[in-house]
Every structure is written in structure tokens, then in C-alpha cells.
Structure 1
Amino acid sequence: MFTSVTKKTFGKASLIYFGLTIFLIIFTIVYEKFSFGESSLYMRGMFIAPLVAAVISFLSGFNLSWIKIRVSLLLFNSAIAVIVSACLIKGIVEVSGRTTTVDMPYWYVAVGFLAVSLLTGFAKTK
């Protein structure tokens, strides 16, 4: 059984990721406004993951990406969500003036999701 993901799905996903990018930019600006002058590179760069995802999703509509089947799309979406969560956690900790390694498992899981997404996307289906 083969489940196809259509161009309409990719266009909708691109718009959702772009909207999420705008939201994260606004969230970062508001969060830093109330953080007494402290900032975090992770918090400021949090919007990059959904922006890259929007571009990849848009390119998938033209068959220029590995996201061709539903499983690879879902794993890719999960990886982006984990990356944004990792940036948010690390950013909040850095703005509070502390350091921690609690965000490391997030990065490992995100890399795992991306790797499995790539493997399933490039796998030949019959």
C-alpha cells in the first residue's frame, strides 16, 4: 500500500510553517522585552527550523525533496517540533542566567527523527 502526499498538502504545510515562523519571531521579541535585557542565541534562532521546513515542504511540491510518503513527512514534522522545543528550553534556561544539559536529549531525538525521515523518504517503495 502506498500513501501519496499531494501538492496541496505541501502548500498547506508551507503556509503553516511560515505562520509558525512569524509566531516564533513575535514570541521571541515579546519574551526578550520582558527578560530584563537578557537574550539567548537559541531563542533568537528558534524561528530558523520552521523557516527551513517551509522551504523544504514547498520544494517537496515539485518533487525536489525526500518527503514523498506520509511516514517521512510525519517524522520530518516531529523533528522540526523537537528542534523548536530544544531551542525554547535552552533559550529559557540561558535567559534565566543558568546553564544546563537538559536540552541534549532533544537534539539526539531530533537528529534521529531526521535520519529516519531521510531513510524512509529515499527508500524505494513498490
Structure 2
Amino acid sequence: MTPRLASSVLVSALLRKAQDEGGFGAVLFKGDEKAGEIIVILNERGQKKGVFQRFLQADGLYSWQGMTGQVIENEGEFSKFIDRRRRFDPDLWLIELDIASAERFAAEMNAFD
């Protein structure tokens, strides 16, 4: 079995990367230190550019997948979605990053796993 990077370590790395690139990051909800699921909101200059979720693949590796749909675009629906997810999974991490290039940052997130 391949050792996995603890969720808290990955969250810290993502926050640090955003800060190192002149951006800002915040933990909105703190999940399980070791194995909590992670959702990342990526903003550019305060505008939501994407929401990404970390998934465990069949081969045992993780990948980030963009979440799409009206629930992501509508703030009220997104809040309800997160509330439902947290009731189902209290170990969920939710972090928000505001960075210069959300598209580039999203492409680089898989390097952390």
C-alpha cells in the first residue's frame, strides 16, 4: 500500500503555494487531519473561477477534478451544497484561495499528490 499525504499537510502546502505566489488562502472548514476529503475554491481577484474536489482513483492515486453546474455558480446553492456535504462528511475540508492565475494553479495542484 502506497503511503498517502495527510489532508492537513496537503492543505498547508496549497495555502503556502498561494501565499508564495502573492495570493491569499483561508481554511473555511477544517476536516480530518489525516484523511479528510478536500474541496478547493479558486478565485482570481475575488471572482470564483473554479471549484475542485480531490478524488481517490481506482489505482489508489488522487486527482483533482473540477466541479461544474449551477450549484457551483450560484452562491446560495453552493452554500446549501457544502452544508449537505458537511452533514454527510464532517471530515470535509473546504479551502478558498485567491490567486493571480486560477487556471494555472488548478493545473499544478496534481503535483502535490
Structure with more strand by fraction: 2
Structure with more helix by fraction: 1
Same fold (TM over 0.5): no
Pick the structure with greater CA Rg: 1
